[in-house]
Amino acid sequence: MLTMKKMIAEKLSEGIAALGAPSTLGVNELIAMLEYPPDEGMGDLALPCFKLSRTLRRAPVQIAAALCDCLTELAPVEKAEAVNGYLNITLSGQYLLEHVLADIAAKGERYGATDEGKGKTVVLDYSSPNVAKPFHIGHLGTTVIGHSLKKLHEFAGYQCIGINYLGDWGTQFGKLIVAYKKWGNKEMIEQGGIDKLVELYVKINNAISGNEEKGIPADPALGDESRAEFHKLELGDEENLALWRWFIDISLEEYQKTYKQLGIEFDSYKGESFYTDKMPAQVQKLRDMGLLKIDDGASIVDLEPYNMPPCLILKRDGSTLYPTRDIAAAVYRKSEYNFDKAIYVTSAGQSLHFAQWFKVVELMGYDWHDQLVHVPYGTVSINGAKLATRTGNVVLLKDLFAAAIEEVSRIMEEKNPDLENKAEVAEAVGVGAIVFYYLSNSRIKDINFVMEDALNFDGNTGPYAQYTYARTCAVLRKAGDITCDNLTYTTPEEATLVKALARFPETVEKAIADYEPSVITRYILDVAAAFNRFYHNCPIINADDAAVRATRVEITRAVNRVLGNAFPLICMRTMEKI
C-alpha cells in the first residue's frame, strides 16, 4: 500500500503544482495526508483538500474536482471522485492482486518488515518481577507489551537486548528472611517453592501491620527486625546472602515456566542488586556538579524549574532509592550496549518517576538522555479490586493460564477429539487467548480483568484469530500443488482482503512508532474478518474456473503468510490444526 500511496502522491503533487501552488507540497506530506475512509463506499483512500485551501486559495470542493483528472491514467487507480471537499480514490482490484500478492510471495517472512533499525541497538527493560513473589495478572502487561515491542523492533531490523531487571534487593528481603527464620524451614520451601515464600511474605506483613479481620495484632518490632536483617544483607552477612541467593533461584525456576509458555527469553537477568557498587560514582558526579541538595537530611535534585517534585537520590540515612539505581543502570547499559534507544515498560503509575530521573540524566550532561523512552500501561484490577501481593489479593498467571488451557481442552474434546498434539494446541490457544485479550486493549487503558471475558472463545478473540490461521492451512493442504500463473480478479471480497494484506507494513510501522501492540492485534482481527467473509462467499477449492480457483488459493497463501508474520509480533503461536 505504501508503494501505491507514493505513486498517487507523486501525481497529486504534480496536479497541485499545476494549480499554481506557490510552493509544491512534498510527496511525503501528501502520503501522510491520505486517509482510509470509514466506509468502503467512499473509496479505498481519501485526500481531504481542506488543508490545501489556504495554499491554493480555492475552495476544497474545487481543489478535489481539479485533482481528479491527474489520477485518471494511473495504473493502481480504478476511479477518483470529488465528494464534499474530499478526493475519494478507489484502487484497481486487479492491480492489487497482481502487485500485493507478488510482493508478499517475494518477501515471505520479511513481508511487513523494514531495515529501519539496521545497525541500531535497542535495550528493552520489561517484565522485571520482584523476586520471591509469583507472576500474577498485574505482571502480564509489562511482560507481553515489552516482549511484543522487542519482536516488533527485531522485525524492523534492530538488534534487541531484552533485560529482566529483577527486583532482587530491598527491605522486603529483610522481611522474608525474618519470616523464614521465624516460621519456615528448608523442607517447606523445597516442597512448596515460590508459593511458600509468598505465604511467608504475606504472613510477615500481616504480623507487622496487623490484620483486624484475622485477629492479628500489629507488631512493629518485626518491622525493625526486618530492616536490621536487610542491613546485615547489605553488609555481606553470609547466612543472609545464602538465603537471598536461594530465594532468587527458587523464583527464577518458577518464572521460567511462565516465560516458556509465552515463548520469551531474556538476554540479561541483572537485577537491582547488580548496580549496588555502581551507584556511588553517579551520586558523586551529582555532588561534583552541584546538583545535589540537602533537604531535611535527604539528598535531592531540585526539579522545581521543570515543574516536577524533587528527585530523591539518597535517604537521610544515606541509603539509595529507585532513581539512584535506575540512573546507574542506564549509565551501565549505555556503556555495555551503546544503545540507540532504551525502552522501559512499566505501569503508568511510575510515569513521574521516569520523567524525574530522565531529567536528572539530562542535567548530568549525558547526551543520550533523549534515547530513554518510558512506555506506560494501565493498571489491572480483578472485578474492580486492586491487586496486592502483601494481602494475597492476586490471580496467579499460572492459574489463569491453566484455566484457559483446561477450557480449550474441553472445547477440543467436543469439536475435534481426534486432533493430534492436543496438549500442545491447548496450551498455545489457551495462553494465546489470555495474551490476545490483554493486547486487544490500548496499553494505556486500565483493565478490569474478568475471567469470563478472557476465556470467551467467541467473537474477536485470540482463538478466533488462531482458528482463522488454521483454516488457511487446511485450504492450502487441500489445494496441494495448485499454482497461479495469471491472477484473475472477480469479486469485491477478494479486493477487500488483499487491501487488508497491503496495509501490514504500515501497521507494523505505526505499532513501532506508537509503542502500541494493540495496533497489530486489531489488524489481525481485520484480516481474519476479511478472510472469513472471503472464505464463506467465494468458493476456493470448489471454484468452477481453474484461474479463479488458483487465484483464490494464492490469496489464501498470502493470508497465511501475513498472519504467520503478525502472530509472533504479539507473542502468539501459529497452529496448523485446531
Task: Give helix 238-262 / helix 397-415 axis angle, nearest 10°.
Answer: 30
Same domain for 373 and 454? Answer: no
The pLDDT of residue 455 is above 80: no
Same domain for 314 and 423? Answer: no
How much of the chain, in percent, has pLDDT values that exceed 70?
96
Same domain for 173 and 24? Answer: no
pLDDT, tens digit, for every residue of 192-224?
Answer: 999 899 899 989 998 998 877 777 888 889 999
Residue 575 belongs to some domain of the structure: no
* pLDDT (mean) for 501-511: 96
List, as one string, the DSSP characters of 276-295: GGGHHHHHHHHHHTT-EEEE
Q: What is the mean pLDDT of the chain?
A: 92
Q: In this structure, what C-alpha cell is assigned to residue 554?
A: 494464492
Chain centre to alpha carbon of residue 519:
9
Q: Which residues contact 376 (CB under 8 A, 6 or more apart)?
A: 346, 347, 348, 350, 351, 443, 444
Quote the pLDDT of residue 390: 46
Same domain for 373 and 432? Answer: no
Q: Is 316 helix (H, G, I), strand (E, B) or coil?
A: coil
The pLDDT of residue 175 is above 60: yes
The pLDDT of residue 412 is above 60: yes
Closest CA to 132 of 219, 48, 194, 43: 194
Residue 381 belongs to some domain of the structure: yes
Same domain for 150 and 272? Answer: yes
Same domain for 66 and 157? Answer: no
User: What's the order of all strands across the beta sheet hosting 45-48?
Assistant: 45-48, 86-91, 77-83
Quote the pLDDT of residue 17: 86
How much of the chain, in percent, has pLDDT values that exceed 90?
74
CATH number of the domain enclosing 564: 1.10.730.10
pLDDT, tens digit, for every residue of 514-543?
Answer: 999 999 999 999 999 999 999 999 999 999
Same domain for 178 and 290? Answer: yes
Per DSSP, what are the bridge partners of residue 313? none
Q: How many CA atoms lie within 13 A of 175 on its CB side?
A: 24
Quote the pLDDT of residue 561: 98
Residue 391 binned pLDDT confidence (cut-offs 50, 70, 90):
very low
Lowest mean pLDDT among 31-40, 102-111, 263-272: 31-40
The pLDDT of residue 388 is above 60: no
Residue 86 belongs to some domain of the structure: yes
Last residue of a domain, one of 71, 91, 111: 91
Same domain for 424 and 376? Answer: no
pLDDT, tens digit, for every residue of 302-359?
Answer: 999 999 999 999 988 888 889 999 999 999 999 999 999 999 999 999 999 999 999 9
Structural domain count of the chain: 3
Same domain for 162 and 220? Answer: yes
Domain limits for position 537 = 419-570
Quote the pLDDT of residue 550: 94
**The dihedral of CA 196, 202, 207, 208: what is its sign?**
positive
Quote the pLDDT of residue 384: 62
pTM for the full predicted model: 0.92
* pLDDT (mean) for 481-498: 90
Last residue of a domain, one of 340, 371, 391: 391
Residue 97 belongs to some domain of the structure: no
Residue 2 binned pLDDT confidence (cut-offs 50, 70, 90):
confident
Contact 113, 156 (CB under 8 A): yes
Same domain for 71 and 165? Answer: no
* pLDDT (mean) for 99-120: 96
C-alpha dihedral (259, 261, 263, 266), degrees to nearest 10:
10
pLDDT, tens digit, for every residue of 147-157?
Answer: 999 999 999 99
Same domain for 279 and 426? Answer: no
Quote the pLDDT of residue 512: 98
Residue 55 binned pLDDT confidence (cut-offs 50, 70, 90):
confident
